[in-house]
Structure 1
Amino acid sequence: MPSPAVDDYLKTIYHHTEWQDDRITPSQLAAEPGLAPSSVTEMVQKLAAQGLVTHRPYGPISLSPEGTRRAASIIRRHRLVETWLVRDFGYTWDEVHDEAEVLEHALSDRLLEGIDERLGRPRFDPHGDAIPDAAGTVHREPFVLLADAVPGHSGRVLRVSDRDPHLLRAVEAAGVAVGAEVAVTDAATLRIDGADVALPDAAAGAIWLSA
């Protein structure tokens, strides 16, 4: 049966390797906001018993094929809801996460399909994260984290992390948007439309560019 607690764990494990390759460890999972550290070990054992993750004691955690499918399904719901709220209800990209956390568990499959059709089957949410299709497939192009990009690198802004609403607002105020063509001056500065734009603190670890 669907369980919001199980879904939240699967989403967190899925998120961890979307934009980098290292698998999540139990200590990293326990440090995630919204997850109770005291319950991590018990929950990971429960997920493993259900065939949703693979894990050895104290080692990193990976989603099984079934776990990946289930995680992609709930992430699809979350990101479609975020896109819907921005496009049809005037929400800003820093306001949608908490609303989507609630609504992703409440929507029927029929309503979700209607939302997807109404939006034109979007491939990315307002933050640039890929929206899995109904089969759980995602399409993502090669990327580089701004902190790892060399000066002079040119590309499009593919994604801005939605973990910190304050940072999202500061990035938007600086003129950075998903899809914008930029050139890297340094980790703290982007050239946009011929002008150097100073970025807020922590932005270099929250912006991904096309490789």
Structure 2
Amino acid sequence: MTSVAQDYLKAVWSALEWAPSEAAKVSTGRLAERLGVGPSTVSETVQRLSEQGLLAYEPYRGVGLTELGRGYALVMVRRHRLIETWLVDQLGYSWDEVHDEAEELEHAVSDLLVERLDALLGRPVRDPHGDPIPTVDGRVLRPDAVPLADLVAGESGVVARISDADPGDLRYLAGLGVDLDVRVTVTAVLPRREAVTVAWDREGAAVTAELERRAASRIWVSRA
């Protein structure tokens, strides 16, 4: 399988992974945005992969994965997230630096190397951003989590995932001390400012910050 095909299958999976349960397809426009290519290129490639039985494509209705395509996508997602975990845990990368490195390395590593990395890391179940790492047999243990922006004032949750869609947002949240497994509480919702006020504990000290809705939407929490 070509690296282009691998990228497309992984991109479709990633676009749908945290979408509402009823969402089974992603638009070609959104796919073009994720892959950084033009709409016409996406349409041609999607059509070709559909003919190969890897994607399910209906014009104007979006793109989904066939069972065959899902299997290949999970192989790539597993590679990508294990490599990210290795870069952070073993090589000292910060969580905003690993995505692009993993994008390059995931096409070069062998299945044996991926298995050795998994064993070396202690069979991790999530990557540095909290996204689940698929098992070798294709199981995905996704946490029950919702965007922090969906919580109302007074609700709390434990950070289960922080989206890596924007490295700048990752750096900003890391600077505030927002990390996986931190318990956060929404103290106020500020609709006119499209923001929320959030409180949490950082090294024994209470911290309060106002987050723009975009930054808050990057944080996914398990309600508690």
Q: Which of the five TM-score ranges fits, normalised by the shorter chain?
A: over 0.9
Structure 1: gaps spanning 5 or more residues = none
Match of 1:74 among 73, 76, 81: 76
* Structure 1: distance between partners of 2:114 and 2:33: 31
- Residue in 1 aligned with 2:197? 189
- Residue in 2 aligned with 1:121? 123
Structure 2: gaps spanning 5 or more residues = 190-194
Question: Conserved in 1, the CA contact under 8 Å of 2:155 and 2:186?
Answer: yes
Aligned length: 210
Match of 1:158 among 146, 152, 160: 160
Match of 1:112 among 114, 138, 142: 114
| Secondary structure of residue in 1 paired with 2:56 | strand
- Residue in 2 aligned with 1:202? 214
Distance verdict in 2 for CA 1:109–1:68, change over 3 Å = same
Kindly report which structure 2 residues correspond to 1:40-51, keeping only aligned pairs within 5 A, or say none.
Answer: 40-51=42-53
Q: Could you tell me which amino acid in structure 2 is paired with residue 154 of structure 1?
A: S
* Structure 2: distance between partners of 1:152 and 1:62: 38
- Residue in 1 aligned with 2:192? none
Q: Could you tell me which amino acid in structure 2 is paired with residue 70 of structure 1?
A: Y
Superposition CA RMSD, Å: 1.5
TM-score (norm 1): 0.94
Question: Conserved in 2, the CA contact under 8 Å of 1:188 and 1:203?
Answer: no
| Secondary structure of residue in 2 paired with 1:58 | coil
Q: Could you tell me which amino acid in structure 1 is paired with residue 178 of structure 2?
A: V
Question: Conserved in 2, the CA contact under 8 Å of 1:128 and 1:160?
Answer: yes
Q: Structure 1 residues 73-82 or 21-30, which shifts more?
A: 21-30
Aligned-pair distance for 1:200? 5.5
- Residue in 2 aligned with 1:83? 85
- Residue in 1 aligned with 2:19? 20
* Structure 2: distance between partners of 1:208 and 1:56: 31
| Secondary structure of residue in 2 paired with 1:31 | helix
